[in-house]
């Protein structure tokens, strides 16, 4: 079955520190992978996506993610966190094929940033 | 472009009441989606549509109905509201399927059923 696991429910980092948010997926074919961010009281916004090619993808707001097929992972990273990065982050896999074309979301990781 | 707009932003319903959550997009997107978001559960797909006149069930369709008479609008109808429908509801759209295209989300509707 297709699924996405985000093992960390809540992470707190200090401003200026590096960040890594974990994401593991289960998908039978080559996955299309996404990271979305949800700021408080807002809808979700796309940070980055991986379809094929270079396994290290760059996104908006200085984020990057690395696709590792051997580990079924797509972890999100940022070298230096800013206070404005406090938000909830969702990893998702694109379920495609036949009449199905939709996203399967993980449960999210809530990021808090300490001054 | 306004993107994806949702109304209302907040609503309190009594058990057994009905209501319609409105969603409109001005990006000429073919695909539209309704999700509900519950704490610690991520987003669950309620219904989706691949074009005007075509809708299909997602993971959690019970207690909801949708229609898609135009490309722009995708209202979600709650009949006989129940406390289990207390949630935040998001509408989203994409030009083609969300499995391989960026989805654009509305700001959400926070619904409480008492």
Q: Testing the interface with A: which of B27, B98, B106, B110 to mutate, by most A Cβ within 10 A?
A: B98
pLDDT by residue for chain A (115 residues), tens only, comes to: 789 999 999 999 999 999 999 999 998 778 899 999 999 888 899 999 998 889 999 999 999 999 999 999 999 999 999 999 999 999 999 877 655 678 899 999 999 999 9
Residues in contact with B74: Cβ distance below 8 Å, sequence separation at least 6, in sequence order: B23, B24, B25, B32, B34, B49, B66, B67, B68, B91, B93
At B15, list the tokens: 């058990």
CB B1 within 8 A of CB B27: yes
Q: Which pLDDT value is given to residue A97? A: 66
pLDDT of residue A52: 86
Per-residue pLDDT band for B40 (boundaries 50, 70, 90) equals confident
Q: What's the average model confidence in pLDDT over B36-55?
A: 92
Across residues B3-13, what is the average pLDDT? 96
State residue A62's pLDDT score.
96
Contact between chains at A103 and B98 (C-beta distance less than 8 A): yes
The per-residue pLDDT for B2 is: 83
Q: CB–CB of A46 and B103 under 8 A?
A: yes
* CB pair distance less than 8 Å for A101 and B92: no
Looking at beta carbons, which pairs linking B56-61 to residues 24 or more positions away fall under 8 Å? B56/A99, B58/A102, B58/B33, B58/B34, B60/B36
Q: Which residues numbered 33-52 in A keep a CB inside 8 Å of some CB on B?
A: 36, 41-46, 49, 51
| The pLDDT value given to residue A98 | 57
Mean predicted confidence (pLDDT) in B26-38: 94
pLDDT of residue A35: 97
The verdict on a CB contact (< 8 Å) between B100 and A45 is: no
Q: How many Cα neighbours within 13 Å face the side chain of A19? A: 30
Query: What Å distances lie between residue A11 and A66, A88, B102, CA to CA?
Result: 19, 10, 26
Q: B interface mutation test: which of A39, A60, A97, A103 has the most B CBs within 10 A?
A: A103
Q: Looking at the predicted structure, is the pLDDT value of residue B92 above 60?
A: yes
């Amino acid at each position: 079955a297709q699924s996405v696991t985000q093992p960390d429910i809540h992470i707190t980092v200090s401003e200026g520190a590096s960040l890594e948010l974990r994401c593991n997926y289960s998908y039978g074919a080559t996955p299309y992978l996404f990271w979305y961010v949800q700021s408080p009281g807002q809808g979700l916004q796309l940070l980055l996506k991986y379809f094929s090619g270079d396994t290290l993808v760059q996104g908006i707001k200085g984020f990057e993610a690395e696709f590792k097929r051997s580990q079924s992972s797509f972890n999100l990273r940022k070298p230096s966190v800013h206070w404005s990065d406090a938000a909830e982050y969702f990893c998702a896999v694109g379920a495609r094929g036949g009449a199905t074309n939709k996203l399967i979301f993980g449960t999210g990781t809530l990021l808090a940033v300490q001054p | 472009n306004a993107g994806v707009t949702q109304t209302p932003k907040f609503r309190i319903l009594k058990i057994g009441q009905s209501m319609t959550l409105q969603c409109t997009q001005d990006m000429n997107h073919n695909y539209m989606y309704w999700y509900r978001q519950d704490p610690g559960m991520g987003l669950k797909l309620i219904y989706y549509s691949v074009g005007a006149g075509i809708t299909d069930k997602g993971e959690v369709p019970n207690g909801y109905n949708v229609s898609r008479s135009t490309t722009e609008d995708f209202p979600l109808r709650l009949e006989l509201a129940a406390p289990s429908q207390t949630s935040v509801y998001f509408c989203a759209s994409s030009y083609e399927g969300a499995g391989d295209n960026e989805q654009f989300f509305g700001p959400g509707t926070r619904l409480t059923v008492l």
